[in-house]
């Protein structure tokens, strides 16, 4: 058994990737699924889509590789975080659609809890802020709005999980109800210092603790797949939320190392080791990974819209057909126009945490066109990342000569990464392997299976594709960041 199957269940698609003994990709399969927007600021997925695309892509990747299940030592799972599901323990039938991390329907509940002074309790226990982004208020909403949910939850008939729990439940035929510490840490229900579910927060949200999965290390025994799925049972040995998996895949094992992943959203993590750093700048304190019962902590900044702004250009405005068209358009733009796009389609994340504001475009002229919008879209990701890193540096008292490791689909854009380096005034390193999220999940599972090396040797294998050095003058940087800050302020005031 010399291969590991990584499941990367994301916000818009599911992928399965087979890695060999040297952690090289040998086959992959991907399937997109529908996004559902039943109301303004609401985002849902059909739970059946999450499971069916997972099963289908796993089978397709195995078939492409010409292998059978006997060659696979373990499965590792990485997943979109905070997305919330509730299902019947006997039938496995979901009570409601999965409420996606981007969803803002619980804004009013969060405001009420904040007004009652409850955010201090949430931050102290979980390292998070009171925001609709996290799973806790989503779960409370399902219990209050799905028919019969509250009574059935009290009777112990229901199970809650983030996407990893849902996949493990289905992979194991309903035998195992678990999550890992990184996903638990994103629910707003988990005490990250004491390593347990918070009975105080659950009581305040009226959530029966019988709903909650067992929490295990990121590399642990999560059960075996049903034998009928792939021909034989395969052990599931690794789980991590997508941003934590990318942190592992980028080998950010030492305190002070930073990575930023550009997928649907953008998420920057700074490893703080065994220290829980309490942010004074509205960043999140979270678990980067947990091995051998020991959590490693991180500061995290979350941007809700990164790659999704390119999807908006494609699917909403229809000014591009493929994401890769944004770079040549951006390069042709009239930079003197100074168009600024604030992509607050579902509110603004860190460090603003404004759930109610919506996107806005500033600086349009009669000559503004697809080129200027493409440039503004790519630049918006750099501006938002700068906001995160500025807050991180303030929390850490400065990080010296910072180097940012990047990954995810948008990191393939040389234009976007050069602008990122310019606007943060620091070096940006792009690895040869951009799919570090799946690699992180594979390493967790493969290391647990005895197939892959320990941290130090794995870190030594990290390989650089290209470094981007800042070339923008301080004057231009100040002018551009000033325009961005004014645009954000106006957006939040609208």
* Tokens matching residue 96: 């409601």
> Is 382 in contact with 424 (CB distance < 8 Å)?
yes
| Reported pTM | 0.85
Measuring CA to CA, which residue among 179, 190, 264, 229 is closest to residue 72?
229
Domains belonging to the chain, first-starting first, are 3-242 (3.30.420.40), 251-431+463-494 (3.30.420.40)
Q: Could you give phi then psi for residue 26, rounded to 5 degrees?
A: -115, -20
Q: What is the CA radius of gyration of the chain?
A: 22
Measuring CA to CA, which residue among 22, 16, 6 is closest to residue 451?
22
Distance of alpha carbon 271 from alpha carbon 288, whole angstroms: 7
* Tokens matching residue 375: 């440039």
Distance of alpha carbon 55 from alpha carbon 67, whole angstroms: 16
Strands 340-342 and 294-303 come out as unpaired
* Tokens matching residue 294: 């020991």
Burial class of residue 234 in the structure, from the number of CB atoms within 10 Å of its CB (0-12 exposed, 13-18 middle, 19+ buried): buried
C-alpha atoms less than 13 angstroms from C-alpha of 263 in its C-beta half-sphere? 23
Contacts of 168 (CB under 8 A, 6+ apart): 77, 176, 177, 178, 222, 223, 236, 239
Distance of alpha carbon 258 from alpha carbon 406, whole angstroms: 9
* pLDDT tens-place values along the chain, 494 residues long: 799 999 999 998 999 999 999 899 999 999 999 999 999 889 999 999 999 999 999 999 999 999 988 999 999 999 999 999 999 999 999 999 999 998 989 999 999 999 999 999 999 999 999 989 899 999 999 999 999 999 999 999 999 999 999 999 999 999 999 999 999 999 999 999 999 999 999 999 999 999 999 999 999 999 999 999 999 999 999 999 999 999 999 999 988 888 998 888 888 999 999 989 888 888 899 999 999 999 999 999 888 888 889 889 998 899 888 888 888 998 998 888 889 999 999 888 888 888 788 999 999 999 999 999 999 999 999 999 999 888 888 888 765 567 789 988 888 889 999 999 999 998 999 998 877 899 999 999 999 999 999 999 999 988 899 999 999 999 999 999 999 999 999 999 88
């Amino acid at each position: 058994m010399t291969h590991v199957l990584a499941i990367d269940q994301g916000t818009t698609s599911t992928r399965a990737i087979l890695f060999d003994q040297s952690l090289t990709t040998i086959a992959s399969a991907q399937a997109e699924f529908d996004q559902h927007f039943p109301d303004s600021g609401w985002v849902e997925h059909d739970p059946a889509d999450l499971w069916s695309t997972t099963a289908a892509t796993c089978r397709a990747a195995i078939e492409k590789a010409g292998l059978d299940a006997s060659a696979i030592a373990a499965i590792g799972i990485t997943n979109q975080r905070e997305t919330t599901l509730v299902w019947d323990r006997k039938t496995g039938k979901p009570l409601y659609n999965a409420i996606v991390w981007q969803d803002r329907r619980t804004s009013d509940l969060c405001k009420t809890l904040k007004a009652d002074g409850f955010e201090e309790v949430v931050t102290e226990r979980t390292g998070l802020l009171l925001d609709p982004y996290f799973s806790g208020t989503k779960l409370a909403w399902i219990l209050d709005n799905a028919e019969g949910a509250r009574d059935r939850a009290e009777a112990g008939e229901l199970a809650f999980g983030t996407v990893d729990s849902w996949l493990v439940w289905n992979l194991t035929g309903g035998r195992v109800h678990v999550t890992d510490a990184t996903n638990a840490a994103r629910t707003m229900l988990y005490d990250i210092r004491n390593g347990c579910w918070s009975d105080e927060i659950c009581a305040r949200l009226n959530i029966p603790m019988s709903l909650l999965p067992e929490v295990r290390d990121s590399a642990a025994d999560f059960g075996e797949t049903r034998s009928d799925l792939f021909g034989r049972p395969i052990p599931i040995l690794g789980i991590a939320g997508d941003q934590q998996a990318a942190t592992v895949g980028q080998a950010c094992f030492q305190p002070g190392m930073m990575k930023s992943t550009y997928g649907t959203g953008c998420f920057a993590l700074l490893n703080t080791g065994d220290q829980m750093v309490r942010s004074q700048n509205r960043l999140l304190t979270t678990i980067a990974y947990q091995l051998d019962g020991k959590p490693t902590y991180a500061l995290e900044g979350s941007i809700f819209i990164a790659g999704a702004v390119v999807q908006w250009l494609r699917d909403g405005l229809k000014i591009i057909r493929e994401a890769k068209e944004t770079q040549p358009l951006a390069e042709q733009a009239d930079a003197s126009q100074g168009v600024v796009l604030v992509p607050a389609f579902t509110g603004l994340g860190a460090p603003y945490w404004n759930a109610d504001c919506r996107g806005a475009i500033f600086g349009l002229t009669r000559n503004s066109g697809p080129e200027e919008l493409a440039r503004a879209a790519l630049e918006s990701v750099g501006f938002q990342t700068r906001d995160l890193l500025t807050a991180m540096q303030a929390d850490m008292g400065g990080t010296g000569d910072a180097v940012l490791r990047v990954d995810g689909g948008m990191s393939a854009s040389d234009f976007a990464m050069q602008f990122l380096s310019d606007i943060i005034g620091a070096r940006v390193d792009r690895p040869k392997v951009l799919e570090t999220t799946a690699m992180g999940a594979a390493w967790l599972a493969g290391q647990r299976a005895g197939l892959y090396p320990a941290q130090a040797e794995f870190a030594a294998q990290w390989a650089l594709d290209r470094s981007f050095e800042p070339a923008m003058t301080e004057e231009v940087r100040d002018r551009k960041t000033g325009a961005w800050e004014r645009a954000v302020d106006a957006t939040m005031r609208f």
